[in-house]
Homo-oligomer: A and B are copies of this chain.
Amino acid sequence: MKNYKITLIKGDGIGPEIIDEAVKVLDAVSSCCGFNLTYDEALMGGIAYDITGDPLPQETITKSLNSDAVLFGAIGGEKWDALPREKRPESGLLRFRKELGVYANLRPAVVYDELINASSLKPEIIKGVDIMVVRELIGGIYFGEPKGRTADKGWNTMVYTREEIVRIAHQAFRIAQKREKRVCSIDKANVLDVSQLWRDVVTEVSAEYPDVELTHMYVDNAAMQLVLNPKQFDVMLTGNIFGDILSDEASMLCGSIGLLPSASVGEKIGVYEPIHGSAPDIAGQGIANPIATIASASMMLRYALGEIEAADKIDYAIKKVLSEGYRTGDLAQFDAKEVCSTSEIGSIIANYI
């Protein structure tokens, strides 16, 4: 029987609760699909700082690199906001991404028909929306040097090298080939030099993918078009900060950030996590929506482990839970038949498998 080693990083806030439900579902699906998962927990974020004094202990990096995939909950919380920058949970996360080399952040924004009324946009605008944001994750202004601040001045550098753009562009084009074969590359080439390079290099790489249509769009226009007519997009290719902004905006088309998974991949290992944060205000109450994390576990099976059948089973079970009207509190107002706790939703999904 195949055996996979999964590193679990539960993190802070609602992280532990939602990861527990994903594990419940993974156990159900692995036993019925004939493979085995072993889990190893690792620390990151505020809890890692509290226990070890470091938001990203070296052991977490080592464990992650030695496993087949990482399933990640969420990190952060006001409790740690006053710490010096390098001790904050977010610093741990950024270092983690860099150390693992996960340069491509894949964020699907898919509207579930079952929740079409949950969006603040009109149903006819969002019905059928299926966007994949491919965001560069370990470059750009998040990591560029020089950076720093004094009492009177602050600066960061948005920098991209050709090599960084080439590899993320290939990711976007390869993903588009399995979808509707359209890539829209986002930049601000009418103002930024770094965006001009971005546009030139993406255009060059596109020559290797004659079956994929490439268009370019300025980031301000993209922010507008996502609201005006989101169905026009298939794959959106972006740098780090533009992708941070646009993928969050895109997620809102779907009505809830409690549903959307993400994958961060590179040459070595993938990290699978919900796009929402650690929501400390509702932590420990058993009311968090575990679906985004369960959907992330499905992405992990599909992309990291190649267990397609198991991933399909999870996706089907999620859809079924939604269509039958089981909802956590965040979605209670949208065609709910029964409002459920975090662990009830997890159990129902596990049962459907």
Residues in A lying within 8 Å of B, measured CB to CB = 85, 88, 90, 94, 120-122, 125, 141-142, 144, 146-149, 151-163, 188, 190-198, 219-221, 223-224, 226-229, 241-242, 244-249, 251-253, 257
Contact B244 A154 (CB under 8 A): no
Closest to A152 in B: B162
Contact B158 A190 (CB under 8 A): no
Contact B257 A147 (CB under 8 A): no
A260 to chain B, nearest CB (A): 11
Q: Give A219 to B122 CA distance when docked, in angstroms.
A: 24
A81 to chain B, nearest CB (A): 8
Q: Give A334 to B137 CA distance when docked, in angstroms.
A: 41
A293 to chain B, nearest CB (A): 19
Given A120-B122, A229-B120, A245-B220: A153 in contact with B158 (beta carbons within 8 A): no
Partner of A257, one of B88, B146, B193, B224: B224
Given A122-B121, A154-B197: A223 in contact with B224 (beta carbons within 8 A): no
Given A221-B248, A223-B246: A161 in contact with B157 (beta carbons within 8 A): no
Contact A154 B149 (CB under 8 A): no
Contact A191 B120 (CB under 8 A): no
Partner of A191, one of B90, B122, B193, B227: B90
